Chain A
Amino acid sequence: MKVLIPTPLLSYTKVPEIEASGATLMELLADLDRQYPGLRFRVIDEQNAMRPHMRFFVNGEQTFNIRQSLRPTDSVQLVQALSGG
């Protein structure tokens, strides 16, 4: 499925749109980490929680459930709030 990557993670993917797979958001993140080692831990902490200011959208709908099911036709967007100074 198509995954949109925020600019702070382009040092990993180099491009803003990539292909990845997984039956759940957690599996998708595992695939992303296989393709781009280190990426997952920058957005998901060691307790499997989304890091503050990281947001996940599936087909335009925000989700906080890392176990949310995904279909191959879904579109996933990772968004990072660029607040702060």
Chain B
Amino acid sequence: MARTNKKSPSWKKKPAVRTKSAPRAARRVVVLVATRKGAWLFHGDTQRKKWRVDGPHFLGQIINHMVLDPRDGRTLLAAAKTGHLGPTVFRSTDLGKTWKEATKPPAFAKVPEGEKGRVVNHTFWLTPCHASEPNAWYAGTSPQGLFCSDDGGDTWEPCSIINDDPQFRSWMGSEQDGTPDGPKLHSIIVDPRDPAHFYLAMSGGGVHETFDRGRSFTTLVKGLDVVGGFDKANIAVHDPHCVQLCPSNPDRLYQQNHCGIYRLDRPSQEWTRIGRNMPKNVGDIGFPIVVHPRDADTAWVFPMDGTTVWPRTSPEGKPAAYVTRNAGKTWQRLDAGLPKNQAWWTVKRQSMTADAQNPVGLYFGTTSGEFWMSRDEGKRWECIAQHLPEIYAVETAEIG
């Protein structure tokens, strides 16, 4: 891909800020559901009322993420491993009719004999690069590493400084740190105005941004809380769960963190904890956060129980999404259609997403293998599928 350095921050240029602008023409939605035991594609009709299920793909394999390239509308990548086989990436250019394995999946550099090198356990996150860089992708792994591909996901190389940088390595911690199945590099977000500017998040290890394609990074943790007793100045203890950039205002980011919900309006470098405005009995702990494709004041979260031993279930067994329509000043509960009680599942960080239709469709998958959607921005929820394996990721693609 053609890579050039851009030194001026994106927000110094005139941003293409649009709020509540006109929606795009309706297209057909395909929802990509990645689970602990395989992947499924749900093809919606034009009204998003009927769904045709296609799957399982890779039955028995752990699929952490599945993403369709919006730049060509045909390249579909799936990050896979099994319980015991090593990690790989599968590619399809016909919406999953046929798959081909990556020639060179993400892998850390081989170290000299006698030294202990890192080994990719699984690829956790896939992000297409900038619209001007066809076939270029980023991948985040566990243990934490950043990889890139210039050929549509066929071959991957370590990229940027962070995989081997001593400072970053100390922030990443060991495999005993971070999430139970290994610390993860996630939320790789490319600035739509500048291919050299992107964000990434590490659980644990904080949020970081680069303006030179990963040659150098600035840490963005000011304003974020950490678990009680720890020093906020220690980047290693910062645990962002999910970061999203608003397509209608690329200078606004939202974050669901281990310690609350936040908003960041650039060029500020200080996050504001907007989760303080959530109901006290629900709190502001969770994994996913979803932004509206055309309204930067609107975002959705799906809270979980983060008390005592962190059950990571719906609070009180009563699942609900919450929406803010004013950038976090107030939140409204959205639970119509969801179980009223005794529902002890939750939604993981990649398992909730939106489409770009009007009204916006929302989608989430649960740890108990249910796939839910709302075609009216969360006013009412409908269960599309039950009895799937534990759902790890839900992404939408629009085709046709």
> A42 near B117 (CB under 8 angstroms)?
no
Q: Which residues of chain A from 15 to 49 have any CB-CB distance to chain B below 8 Å in the complex?
A: 37-38, 41-49
Contact B105 A52 (CB under 8 A): no
Q: Does A41 contact B86, Cβ atoms closer than 8 Å?
A: yes
Interchain CA distance A48-B86 in the complex, whole Å:
12
CB-based contact B107/A8 at 8 Å = no
Interface-facing stretch out of B77-85, B165-173, B199-207, B296-304: B77-85
Rounded to whole angstroms, the CA-CA distance of A83 and B83 in the bound complex is 8
Residues of A within 8 A of B84 (CB): 8, 51-54, 80-84
Query: Would A46 and B107 be within 8 Å (CB), given that A53-B84, A54-B84 are in contact?
Result: yes
Chain B residue with the shortest CB-CB distance to A38: B101
Contact with B along A47-84 (1 / 0, CB 8 A): 11101111000000000000000000000000011111
Q: With the chains together, A80 CA to B83 CA distance in Å?
A: 10
CB distance from B274 to the nearest CB of A (A): 39
Task: Give chain A residues whose Cβ lies under 8 Å from the Cβ of B109.
Answer: 46
Q: Is the CB of B85 within 8 A of A43?
A: yes
Given A47-B110, A47-B111, A84-B83, verify A42-B88 contact (CB < 8 Å).
Answer: yes
Residue of A nearest to B86 (CB): A42
Q: 1/0 per position for B363-375, CB-CB distance to A under 8 A? A: 0000000000000
Q: Does residue B108 face the partner (Cβ distance < 8 Å to A)? A: yes
B103–A51 touching, CB < 8 Å = no
B119 within 8 A of A: yes
Mark contacts of B103-123 with chain A using CB atoms, 8 A cut-off: 1 yes-contact digit, 0 otherwise: 101011111000011111000
Cβ-defined contact, B110 with A41, below 8 A: no
Task: For the complex formed, measure the closest distance between the CB of A42 and the CB atoms of chain B, giving whole angstroms.
Answer: 4
Residues of B within 8 A of A41 (CB): 86, 88, 105, 107
Q: Assuming A38-B88, A51-B86, A54-B84, is B103 touching A46 (CB within 8 A)?
A: no
Task: Pick the most buried of B82, B84, B103, B116: most chain A CB atoms within 10 A of its CB.
Answer: B84
Bound-state Cα–Cα, A61 to B102, Å:
33
- Quote the shortest CB–CB distance from B158 to chain A (angstroms): 10
Which residues of chain B have C-beta atoms less than 8 A from A48's C-beta? 110
Q: Which residue of B lies closest to A9 (CB)?
A: B85
CB-nearest residue of chain B to A85: B83
Nearest Cβ on chain B to A17's Cβ, whole angstroms: 19
Given contacts A37-B103, A38-B101, A41-B105, contact A46 B85 (CB under 8 A): no
Find chain A residues with CB under 8 A from B102 CB.
38
Q: Which residues of A contact B110 (CB under 8 A)?
A: 46-48
CA distance A44 to B107 in the complex (A): 11
A49 to chain B, nearest CB (A): 7
Q: How far is the CA of A41 from the CA of B107 in the complex (A)?
A: 9
Query: A42 to B86, alpha carbons, bound, how many Å?
Result: 4
Contacts of B111 in A (CB 8 A): 47
Task: For the complex, give the distance between the alpha carbons of A45 and B86 in Å.
Answer: 7
**Cβ distance A1 to chain B, nearest Cβ, rounded Å:** 23
A43–B103 CA distance with the chains assembled, in angstroms: 15
| Chain A residues, Cβ within 8 Å of B101 | 37-38
Closest to B85 in A: A42
Residues of A close to B108: CB separation below 8 A: 46-47
| Interface residue from A42, A46, A53, A82 paired with B119 (Cβ < 8 Å) | A46
B248 to chain A, nearest CB (A): 41
Q: Are A51 and B85 in contact (CB under 8 A)?
A: yes
Nearest residue (CB) in A for B113 is A48
Per the bound structure, the CA–CA distance linking A84 and B108 in Å amounts to 26
Nearest-CB residue, chain A, relative to B90? A38
Distance between Cα atoms of A9 and B117 in the complex (Å): 25
B103 touches A47 (CB 8 A): no
- A29 to B120 Cα, complex, angstroms: 19
Contact present for A49 and B82 (CB under 8 Å): no
Known: A38-B101, A45-B120, A80-B84. 7 other contacts (CB 8 A): A8-B85, A37-B101, A38-B88, A47-B110, A47-B116, A47-B118, A49-B119
A-B contact pairs, 13 of them (CB 8 A): A37-B101, A38-B102, A42-B86, A43-B86, A45-B120, A46-B108, A46-B110, A47-B119, A52-B84, A80-B84, A83-B83, A83-B84, A84-B83
A-B interface, 4 closest residue pairs, ranked by CB to CB distance from nearest: A46-B107, A53-B84, A42-B85, A47-B117
